[in-house]
Amino acid sequence: MDEMDVKGMISATQSDQEDQMDLRRGPWTVEEDLLLINYITNHGEGRWNSLARCAGLKRTGKSCRLRWLNYLRPDVRRGNITLEEQLLILELHSRWGNRWSKIAQHLPGRTDNEIKNYWRTRVQKHAKQLQCDVNSKQFKDTMRYLWMPRLAERIQAAATTSGGATTNHHHHHHHLNNINTNTSTNNNIYNPDFSEGHILPASTNNEFSGSQNFTTPENSSTAASSDSMGTTDQFASSVSDLKDCYSFQTNNNNTNIINTQSPHTNFAESLFSPSSNYFNRGFELQGNVEQNSMWLGGGGGGGEDVLENLWNVEDIWFLQQQLCNGV
DNA sequence: AAGACAAGCAACCGCCCGAGG
DNA sequence: ACCTCGGGCGGTTGCTTGTCT
């Protein structure tokens, strides 16, 4: 049986069922929501197909499950994705790629659907502005070495000004407000945990000694693997250019601070730990900032929310100041 | 004021996997 | 071994809302 046959059988079965059962589709009504909530409150979740029937809902089990998990569940968090959550999403996506449910496990109350939507709308928008593929090497590098440090800086700034609180307006169910604000040491080693890559930057005595040489969309190779950086080889390839100018070195000892944690350990703490500090790493770039500005500003735009858009004039100015001051 | 366009997001779709019969 | 079913996942669609002209 080939794939077409299977597809045909599936769609026919589904449509038959929906015709027979006169199943509803599309947006949920308040009445449907109440039916679902009441039923689950009294009987619990699971066995969604029979649940849908017993609850008197003319919906597929899948539809009920989705509605419950993504919207009606009492512990679901809604509203703006906080800076901390954005940073986590970027970090986790660099590790796992489009494993939305896995990423969502580290953002309590957030659904995979919401994170996926965030990625597709916000992150991919930036890639579009930069006229490069979201999976391209330079976009990933830019995320890691510019966007994420900037996010971390903003988080820390907010934490500092508010006495350790975060920018989140909602009640935190998780532990993201436990942020290490130590920015004074020179011994911080930026330790981006690229999946199994175990890539560490050069040690402190030679770090970032080369000329800053961000690749541009124009001179980039076709490096963009559509996969996330899941293997050492893939990552090694993806950092090859940066390696030349930043003296990257691979860590062959399998030393991996983040990976040694349990899946449910607070990931944010790792991001701000002394040994993996985005804030201290982010603006240690040296060299020709004009190149950087050109390509950061390439997307044009402007006038957008500062918190939402890395690639605005203010940020570039800030970056330039950091570089001029030799930070 | 209104139409066009873009962005955001809820919901759906197809596929896959594992459990149980 | 095979089939069915429940459930989960990532990708996609299309509606709603906001912004621009």
Task: Confirm if A67 and A28 have CB atoms less than 8 A apart.
Answer: yes
Distance CA A160, CA A155 (A): 9
Distance CA A225, CA A235 (A): 10
Q: What is the structure's pLDDT at A186? A: 32
Strands (E), chain A: 199-200, 249-250
The 10 Å Cβ neighbour count of residue A7 is 10
CA of A129 to C1' of B6 (A): 14
Say yes or no: Cβ of A124 under 7 A from any atom of strand C: no
Closest to A134 (Cα-Cα) out of A227, A218, A54: A227
pTM, 2 dp: 0.58
CA of A302 to C1' of C19 (A): 15
Encoded tokens for A46: 């699971």
pLDDT mean by block of 10 residues, chain A; 327 residues: 33 40 80 88 86 88 88 82 85 84 86 86 77 77 83 84 50 35 31 32 30 31 31 31 29 32 42 44 36 36 37 45 44
Domains of chain A in start order, with CATH, are: 18-72 (1.10.10.60), 83-159 (1.10.10.60)
Residues having Cβ less than 7 A from any atom in strand B? A 3, 6-7, 10-11, 14, 24-28, 59-60, 62-63, 66-67, 70-71, 78, 113-114, 116-118, 120-122, 125
Q: Nearest nucleotide, C1' to the C-alpha of A124?
A: B7
CA of A117 to C1' of B13 (A): 16
- Give strand C nucleotides closer than 7 A to any protein Cβ: 5-12, 15-16, 20
Cα A8 to Cα A14, A61, A203, A250, distances in angstroms? 10, 21, 58, 49
Closest protein CA to C1' of nucleotide B7, residue: A121
- The helix, strand and coil proportions of chain A, stated in percent and rounded to the nearest 5, come to 50, 0, 50
Q: Tell me the one-letter amino acid at A233.
A: D
Q: What is the structure's pLDDT at A163? A: 60
Q: What is the structure's pLDDT at A141? A: 82
